[in-house]
């Protein structure tokens, strides 16, 4: 699975002009299931996101996780993270999981974060969404469960 994680002062996702999910201090996580991903990948990614130390400690260093600060997570499905733009000007998305599998893994990822004790808000899988973010830092981190190094 792939995720783009942004440290947020606040974030909100709306669908059709109505709020679907809103958080204060925490993380906005854009997430995409890839072909071949499974529940274990979703759980591994959730653990990495929950433990990612990108919040400031008392010394001003990025040394605390969203769990440590009591923050929330806004998770938004984003199949375009699977974009392959190595040739031409139009990206391909064939490496993304099929929609039904993508939704299953997205929901599993959300539940895995909740099981770790995090408050989680979400967008609506497959919907046309508007995402508003006040990025704190700015801090933006890329994760891919295929990267094992």
The single residue of 6, 55, 67, 78 carrying the catalytic annotation is 78
User: What phi, psi does 14 have (nearest 5°)?
Assistant: -120, 150
Told to judge if 22 belongs to the known catalytic residues of this protein, a careful annotator would answer no
Q: What angle do CA 88, 89, 95 make, to 5 degrees?
A: 75
Told to judge if 80 belongs to the known catalytic residues of this protein, a careful annotator would answer yes
Coil vs helix vs strand at 118: coil
The single residue of 55, 79, 109, 145 carrying the catalytic annotation is 79
For residue 22, the number of C-alpha atoms closer than 13 Å in the C-beta half-sphere is: 3
Told to judge if 35 belongs to the known catalytic residues of this protein, a careful annotator would answer no
Coil vs helix vs strand at 149: coil
Catalytic residues: 78-80
């Amino acid at each position: 699975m792939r995720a783009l994680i942004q440290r947020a002062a606040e974030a909100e996702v709306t669908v059709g002009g109505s709020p679907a999910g809103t958080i204060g201090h925490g993380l906005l996580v854009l997430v995409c299931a890839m072909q071949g991903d499974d529940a274990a990948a979703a759980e591994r990614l959730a653990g990495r996101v929950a433990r990612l130390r990108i919040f400031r400690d008392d010394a001003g260093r990025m040394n605390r996780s969203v769990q440590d600060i009591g923050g929330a997570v806004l998770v938004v499905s984003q199949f375009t993270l699977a974009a392959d733009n190595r040739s031409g000007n139009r990206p391909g998305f064939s490496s993304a999981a099929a929609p039904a599998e993508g939704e299953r893994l997205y929901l599993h990822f959300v539940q895995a974060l909740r099981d770790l004790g995090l408050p989680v808000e979400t967008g609506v899988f497959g919907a046309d969404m508007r995402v508003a973010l006040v990025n704190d830092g700015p801090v933006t981190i890329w994760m891919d469960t295929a990267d094992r190094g």
